């Protein structure tokens, strides 16, 4: 669809209209996946992949905007991208700052946009995947997921700096390689 629409879209309101159409299509597909897809292996791996991608992209975003050298406005952008404006206003009676953004989008186990939330989802799927493979084949994936979970439990808003976020980003991306080697190949 995008390849067909993009050449005809004009900058400005036309491009916004095109993006609105694409957003509706993506949202519709997401709804189909959540409501109508049979919960077999394909759905399970799709769910795992979504959590890995969201966690990796959020660590990347936080590393960029929470860095002391990042431009002004980045923290507000992160809260908006993380779809957490309302919860931020409820929880913190202050403007965005590095500490409350990292807390909300990195360390909050109850925020469905936070890194720690998605690491918990991965931990739950480790338990499900155990039933499909011999124990020694899943151990590496489990160890990596547990190590990331423990790291995020131990971090504070002060220790989860740009370097720690980038390290976590690459560790989360590495989970995909381990998952592929364990279950796909």
Q: Please list the pLDDT of the chain residue by residue as tens digits (185 residues).
A: 667 766 776 766 666 777 777 777 777 766 666 667 666 667 788 889 999 999 999 999 999 999 989 988 999 999 999 999 999 999 998 899 999 999 999 999 999 999 999 999 999 988 777 665 566 655 788 889 999 999 999 999 999 999 999 999 999 999 999 988 887 76
DSSP per-residue string spanning 12-44: THHHHHHHHHHHHHHHHHHHHHHHHS--SHHHH
Expressed as residue numbers, the domain containing 2 is 1-36
85-89 long-range contacts (CB < 8 A, ≥24 apart) are: 87/111
Same domain, 147 and 98: yes
pLDDT at 151 (0 to 100): 96
Same domain, 141 and 177: yes
Same domain, 31 and 42: no
Same domain, 43 and 28: no
Same domain, 112 and 136: yes
Same domain, 84 and 137: yes
Same domain, 32 and 63: no
Return the percentage of the chain with pLDDT > 90, whole number: 56
CA–CA dist 165, 12 (Å, integer):
35
Same domain, 11 and 86: no
CA–CA dist 170, 156 (Å, integer):
19
**Model confidence pLDDT, tens digit, residues 42-86:** 778 888 999 999 999 999 999 999 998 998 899 999 999 999 999
CA–CA dist 18, 129 (Å, integer):
40
Same domain, 22 and 43: no
Of how many residues is the chain composed? 185
Best CA proximity match to 119, nearest among 46, 58, 44: 58
pTM exceeds cut of 0.75? yes
Domain tally for the chain?
A: 2
Same domain, 29 and 3: yes
Same domain, 48 and 91: yes
Best CA proximity match to 147, nearest among 121, 119, 115: 119
Same domain, 6 and 70: no
């Amino acid at each position: 669809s995008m390849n067909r629409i993009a050449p005809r879209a004009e900058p400005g309101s036309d491009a916004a209209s095109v993006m609105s159409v694409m957003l509706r299509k993506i949202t519709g597909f997401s709804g189909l996946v959540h409501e109508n897809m049979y919960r077999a292996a394909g759905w399970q791996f799709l769910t795992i992949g979504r959590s890995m991608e969201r966690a990796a992209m959020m660590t990347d975003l936080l590393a960029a905007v929470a860095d002391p050298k990042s431009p002004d406005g980045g923290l507000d952008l992160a809260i908006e991208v993380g779809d957490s404006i309302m919860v931020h206003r409820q929880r913190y009676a202050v403007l965005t700052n590095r500490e409350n953004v990292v807390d909300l989008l990195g360390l909050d186990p109850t925020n469905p946009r936070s890194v720690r939330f998605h690491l918990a989802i991965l931990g739950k799927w480790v338990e499900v995947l155990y039933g499909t493979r011999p124990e020694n084949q899943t151990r590496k994936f489990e160890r990596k997921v547990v190590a990331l979970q423990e790291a995020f439990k131990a971090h504070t808003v002060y220790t989860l700096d740009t370097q720690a976020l980038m390290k976590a980003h690459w560790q989360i991306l590495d989970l995909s390689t381990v998952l592929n080697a364990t279950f796909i190949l």
